[in-house]
Amino acid sequence: MPSSHSQLIWFFVVYFFLFLYLRMHQTNNARCVDLLWRHILSIILLGIALSVSYSRVYLLYHTWSQVFYGGVAGSTIGIIWFFITQEVLTPIFPKIAAWPISEYFLVRDTSLIPNILWFEYTVTRSEARNRQRKLGTKVQ
């Protein structure tokens, strides 16, 4: 009592919901496609959580009450951990990233960059072009 599988999946799903809808709101002009993928991902995650919860009862490993209390415990811990990371850890992260040990392990704060993949792609492409120009090779 309670189901640890249920705790884990509901912790993950609730934390991910909060992250998707509260943390990833950096652009006010969110396109329809951006909103659509969030909703589709949320529905998929909810389906996975319900499937895991149901499987614990179906396979006779737990009762419905054990799965329910595991889900409640996981959801509660997910909410608490989300707010700890957002209200306590996020504000002090720039200080942590400036520590010498953080610099040694190349820890950096990229939370203000809305699309990190596009940013990394354009910076890397620009750097490669600059290095090719310095070497005198043809840019493709």
CA angle at residue 77 from 72 to 80, to 5 degrees? Answer: 125
Q: Say yes or no: 44 and 6 in one domain.
A: yes
Q: Say yes or no: 22 and 81 in one domain.
A: yes
> What would the pLDDT profile of 102-137 be if each residue is shown by its tens digit?
999 999 888 777 778 888 999 999 999 999 888 886
Structure confidence at residue 88 as a pLDDT band (50, 70, 90): very high
Q: Say yes or no: 110 and 42 in one domain.
A: no
Q: Which domain holds residue 108?
A: 93-139
Q: Is the peptide bond before 114 cis (omega within 30 degrees of 0)?
A: no
Q: Do residues 10 and 49 make contact, with C-beta atoms less than 8 angstroms apart?
A: yes
> What would the pLDDT profile of 75-85 be if each residue is shown by its tens digit?
999 999 999 99
Give me the mean pLDDT over the 92-111 stretch: 90
Q: Say yes or no: 17 and 76 in one domain.
A: yes
Q: How many domains in the chain?
A: 2
Q: Say yes or no: 114 and 72 in one domain.
A: no
CA distance 76 to 89: 19
Q: Say yes or no: 121 and 66 in one domain.
A: no
CA distance 21 to 19: 6
Q: Say yes or no: 57 and 99 in one domain.
A: no
Q: Say yes or no: 26 and 84 in one domain.
A: yes
Q: Of the residues 74, 89, 104, which one is the last residue of a structural domain?
A: 89
Q: Say yes or no: 58 and 126 in one domain.
A: no
Q: Say yes or no: 70 and 53 in one domain.
A: yes
> What would the pLDDT profile of 15-66 be if each residue is shown by its tens digit?
999 998 888 765 555 677 777 888 899 999 999 999 999 999 999 999 999 9
